[in-house]
Structure 1
Amino acid sequence: MSTFETLEISCKDGYSLSGRFYAKQTSHKKNHPILVCPATGITQHFYQAFAEWLSTQGYDVLSFDFRGIGRSLHGPLNKSEASIVNWGQLDIPAAIDSLLCKTQTDQVILLGHSAGGQLLGIVPNYQKVAKVIAVSGSTGHVKGLKGKTKLLAPLMFNVIFPLARITKGYGPTQAIGMGENLPKDVAKQWAQFCSKPGYVINAIGKTVFEDYHAKIDCPITVLWSSDDEIATATNVKDLLRLYPNANTQMIELKPKSYDHKAIGHMLMFKKSHQNLWSTIEKQLHI
C-alpha cells in the first residue's frame, strides 16, 4: 500500500509538476500543512521517509519535483527551458495553492531544503506561507563556502557549466554527485546567483521584476550543520539579511551532539539521521 497520493500540480503557465501528498496518520491534525520544497537537482523521492514520518506526527505533507527535475521533466533535458526563477515565481506558488486546496486550509508551512528555502522573496503568494523552515538554507555565495566545495564550485560554475551548455545542453551535476543533471538555465542561474552575495536578489531588475523580500514578515528559521560546506554561518546570515521585516532565527546543529560523524548539506533527511527529525519538527510549531 502506497503511503502517498500522486498529485498533478498545474502552474500558472500551464506547466505540470509531479507531487506526492502524504495524509496525516493521526486524529490530531496540526494547524498547518507542510510543503516540502526540494534542493537543486534533488527529487521528491529523497524526502519520502521524512514526509512519511511527518504524516505520523499529524501533518498533511506535500512534496514535489521542480520543473526540469525528476518526474517534472517533460521531454529531453537539453530541451528544458526551466530556470530557478521559474521555480520561485511559478512552481512554489502552484504547490502552495495545490496543498491549500487539498487540505482546505489558509496557509502552509514551507519546509525548504537548500534552494527550496531560498526563494520566498520572489514567490507572488508569499502571504499564504505562515512560517519558513529552511534546512541547510543559505545564499551559497562562493566566497562563503568551505572545504572541498569552495574549490569545486568555481570549477563547476565557471568551467564545467559553460562548456556543458554548449556540448551537452544541460548542467552535468550527476557525475559529480550533486543530484540530477540540471536544465541549462538552472545551471546558469545557480552559477550567477552564487557568484555574488544575496542569491536570487541578483536577478532583481534582470529576470525578476517583483521583489517581495521586504514585504515578508512571517517567521523564518534556518537549521544548518556546523560541517555544512555550503550553508556556512556566513552564507546563512547572508540569506536572512534579505528579509528585514521577518523574525529570523539561526539554529546550528553539531554532528557530535547527535552521535553522527557528519550531517553536512544533505543528511538531515536521511533515515540514518532520523534522530534529527524531532529537532526539525519542533520548529514547525507556531
Structure 2
Amino acid sequence: MSSLESFPPLPVSRNTAHAFRERAADGYTLGGFSWRHAVPDRNRPVVIINAATSVRCSYYARFAQYLFSHGFDVMTYDYRGIGESRPAAMRHFKASWTDWGALDFEAMLQRAAREFPGQPIDVVGHSFGGCAAGLAASADRLRRLVTVGAQFAYWRDYAQDSRWQLFGKWHVVMPLLTRVFGYFPGKRLGWLEDTPAGVVKDWSTMTPAYERRPSGRAHGQLPFARVRAQTLAISLTDDPFGTMAAIERLLGYFESSTRSHLRIAPADIDETQIGHFAFFHKRFEARLWPIALQWLQQGQLADDTPGRVVTLSVP
C-alpha cells in the first residue's frame, strides 16, 4: 500500500489559512486551521476534515485549499495528543478514540456553528475520521459526509494477504512499545505520529462490539444513529484496512443516513497503487478529488465517476 511515510505533512500556507485554538468541553485546547472566505454566505457550506488516526491535519492542507478554491469554507484540526494539539508531555497522556470523536470533533462542530452561523456543515473523514463523524453529540447537524477508507481497524477485516503482518505491527508491536514508553513513539519509527496510550489500546483491542464499549449503550443509542447526512463511503481495492467487510461494518452504524459505497481500483484511474493514504496526495487532484467535491456540492456522483457503486449488504 502507499504509506504515509511517502507523503509527509505539508506546510500550511498562512496566506489563505488561519490558525485557531479551540477549547473542548473538558477544557482541553485543540489546534487547527481554517480557510474562510472574506464575505459570509449562509448558503456556503463549511467542510470539517477529520484526519486518520495519528495523522497531522497539515497532511490535508492541499485538499483543504482545493475545497476552498471551489467555494467552501474549510476547517482542519488535530486530535488531542497530535500535532497542533500535542501536550507538553506525551507519557501517560490520557486520550482515546472516543475522546477524539465525542470531545474533539464535537468541539469543531460547535466552532463551525459559532464561526459560520447558519451555514451547512459537511465532513470529509479519512480512516478513523469517518468513525469520529458518528461519535459527536451534535452529529445530527451534518448535511453531507464523505469518508475515505473509513473503518474501525478490526483485525479480522484486514485484507487476507496482509492480515497477519498488520496484526503483528499494529496489535502486537504497537501496544508493546506503548507499554514501555507510556505512549506510542511513532515518529521515531516512521509509523505515523506519536500516539496516546489510550488510542493505542482502542486500536489494538477493537472488536465489532465497539458500540458496547465503553458505555454499554445499545447500537441505536449511539450518535451514529442520529447522523442523517447524505453519506458517500469511498474505498480503494488495494487498501488493506478498507476491505469490503470493514467499510460496510462502519456504514452499518450510520443507519439513519442515506448511504452509498464507491469502490475504486487503481486501474480505474490508470494507476498501479493508491492504498490507504494516497487519496489526499496532490497527484490525485484531477482524478480523485473531484469525486469528493461532486458529492459535497450535489450529494450525488457524476456519470463518469471512476470505480463502481457497490450494492450495500448492510440494512
User: TM-score, normalised on structure 2?
Assistant: 0.82
Q: How does 1:92-103 map to 2 (within 5 A)?
A: 92-103=105-116
**Conserved? CA contact 1:29–1:58, under 8 Å:** no
**Which residue of 147, 155, 159 maps to 1:146?**
159
Match of 2:239 among 228, 238, 244: 228
Q: CA deviation at 1:149?
A: 4.5
Counterpart code for 2:215? G
Q: How does 1:38-49 map to 2 (within 5 A)?
A: 38-49=51-62
Measured after TM superposition, the shift of residue 27 of structure 1 is 9.6
1:66-105 equivalent positions in 2, closer than 5 A? 66-105=79-118
Matched pairs, number: 283
Structure 1 residue 175: Cα displacement: 5.2
Contact 1:213 1:242 in 2 (8 A): yes
1:149-164 pair list within 5 angstroms? 149-164=162-177
2:205 corresponds to 1:205: no
Q: State the distance in 1 between where 2:38 and 2:72 align.
A: 8
Question: Which segments of 5 or more consecutive residues in structure 1 lack a partner in the other structure?
Answer: none
Does 16-25 or 153-162 show the bigger shift? 153-162
Whole-Å separation in 1 of the counterparts to 2:225 and 2:256 = 6
CA distance 1:221–1:204, shift in 2 (3 Å): farther
SS of 1:131's equivalent?
strand
Question: Structure 1 113/158 Cα, relative in aligned 2: closer, same or farther at 3 Å?
Answer: closer
Unpaired runs of at least 5, structure 2:
1-13, 300-315
Aligned CA RMSD, in angstroms, stands at 2.4
- Structure 1 residue 180 and structure 2 residue 190: aligned? no
Task: Report the alpha carbon displacement of residue 122 of structure 1 after superposing the two structures with TM.
Answer: 2.3
Q: Identify the range of structure 1 (60-69 vs 269-278) with the bigger mean alpha-carbon deviation.
A: 269-278
Structure-2 residue corresponding to 1:239? 250
Q: 1:238 to 1:277 in 2, by over 3 A?
A: same
Indicate how the Cα distance of structure 1 residues 35 and 149 shifts in structure 2: closer, same or farther if over 3 A, else same.
Answer: farther
User: Please, which moves more after superposition, 220-229 or 55-64?
Assistant: 220-229
Displacement after TM superposition at 1:208 (Å): 10
1:282 aligns with 294
Q: Which residue of 1 aligns with 2:72?
A: 59
1:58, CA displacement in angstroms? 0.3
Query: In 1, are the aligned partners of 2:152 and 2:246 still within 8 Å (CA)?
Result: yes
Q: Sort the Cα spacing of 1:136 and 1:71 in 2 relative to 1 into closer, same or farther, 3 A.
A: same
The amino acid of 1:13's aligned partner reads D
Per-residue CA deviations over 1:213-245 (Å, capped at 9, x if unaligned) read 333322221011111110111111111111222
Among 100, 104, 120, the residue aligned to 2:133? 120
Q: Which amino acid aligns with 1:281?
A: L
* Contact map agreement 2:140 2:226 (CA 8 A) in 1: no
Once residues 95 and 76 of structure 1 are traced to their aligned partners in structure 2, the CA distance between those partners, rounded to angstroms, is 24
Contact 1:25–1:56 at 8 Å: present in 2 too?
no
Q: 1:214 to 1:27 in 2, by over 3 A?
A: closer
Q: TM-score, normalised by structure 1?
A: 0.90
Greater shift in the superposed pair: 19-28 or 53-62: 19-28
Contact 2:43 2:119 in 1 (8 A): no
Aligned amino acid, residue 99 of structure 2: N
Q: Is the 8 A contact 2:184 2:200 kept in 1?
A: yes
In 2, the alpha carbon distance for the partners of 1:26 and 1:226 equals 41
Distance in 2, Cα, partners of 1:177 & 1:147: 24
Report the residue type matching 2:63 in the other structure: F
Measure the CA separation in 1 of the matches of 2:33 and 2:233.
Answer: 24
Give the 3 Å change call, closer, same or farther, for CA 147–24 of structure 1 in structure 2: farther
1:269 partnered with 2:274: no
| Inter-CA distance 148–21: structure 2 relative to 1 (3 Å threshold) | farther
1:123 is aligned with what amino acid? Answer: A
Report how far residue 157 of structure 1 moved.
4.1
Secondary structure of 2:208's aligned partner: coil
